[in-house]
Amino acid sequence: PAPVPAPAGGPALPRDWNSYAPVVKRVAPAVVVIEGKTKARPKLDDPDPGFGSGVLIHPAGIVLTCNHLVADATALDVTLADGRTFPAKEIRRDPKTDLAIVRIEDPAPFPFVEFGNSEAMEPGDRVLAFGAPFGLTGSVTQGIVSARGRRNLNVNVVEDFIQFDAAVNAGNSGGPLVSTEGKLIGLTSAIKTRSGGFQGVGLAVSGKLADAVAADLIRNGAVKRPSIGVQVRELDEDAATRNKLKPGGGVVISEVVAKSPGEAANLGVGDVVTTFNGQAVTTPREMLKAVVAAPAGQPVAVVVVRNGQAFQTRVTPVEQLDVA
């Protein structure tokens, strides 16, 4: 049957159908701008503007932001949406996920945003991105979830990204990505671009990962992760020739901590690790990713080349605080 037109002057659509204003009003007061007071002034062609965004996740003044915004700063200013500025009392960082916690203080409780269920988000779900692109504080853009579970992008060591298409630019880093319910489901961390500007591919650390990392940083000051107690470096030409390997055919162990799982597994300085837990490792970054992804307390296979001879051993990673 033919549709019946609505009568003139009929009821309008509910506001939450045609405007995000109610969500913005709930979230915006908890969005902050973070600026390093002692950070060196960036060069004109430096994509890092020297400031970024963050979001309050607890009324006691706990701000979640990106590690790359605070890593080089010894002092920070945190400015709220209402214009008040607070000095950071404490900074706790996790470089492997590019997340950090900044603590500010005030007798009154701060506005904050609760974590939502990022695992329940699906491609096509609407999202809002908050932040201060190019210093334009109080900005918000809208889009959809483009994909979930993006990994192996070589952005961070530990990765679980939500890809989205809401416009974000320099200054948005550390800003919240929220659902239409106003819940925190991600933290803007990076963009994929060939121009240096936004090209429709934003990446936010998933709320699930951010929530877990934030909890560890708040409770322990660092994140607990598997470790085997070794340091590695690139396989240079001399080490490759000595071990009858091609350049990039593994990583060289440069340090073994005493009484560590690595020492117990007969790993030594100068050994070349080619495979860890079934994964080929060609760079220190790949080795690190393989170790932190391994199950703590369970032995995993490691293929090692020593003086040109390959052998296999088993190492049992132990969970320990990964201090930045």
Q: Is 173 a catalytic residue?
A: yes
- Of these residues, 53, 118, 173, 206, which one is catalytic? 173
DSSP reduced 3-state for 275 = strand
Task: Tell me the C-alpha distance between 297 and 151, whole Å.
Answer: 24
Task: Tell me the C-alpha distance between 77 and 132, whole Å.
Answer: 15
Q: Is 58 a catalytic residue?
A: no
Cβ partners under 8 Å of residue 139, min gap 6: 130, 131, 132, 133, 172
Report residue 174 as tokens.
């550390």
**Taken in order 253, 255, 258, 261, is the CA torsion positive or negative?**
negative
Q: Degrees (nearest 5) of the Cα angle 138, 143, 149?
A: 110
- Of these residues, 98, 211, 216, 271, which one is catalytic? 98
Task: Tell me the C-alpha distance between 6 and 16, whole Å.
Answer: 20
- Of these residues, 58, 68, 189, 216, which one is catalytic? 68
258 φ, ψ (degrees, to nearest 5): -60, 140
Contact 249, 259 (CB under 8 A): no
Cβ partners under 8 Å of residue 194, min gap 6: none
Eight-class DSSP state of 248: T
Residues annotated as catalytic are 68, 98, 173
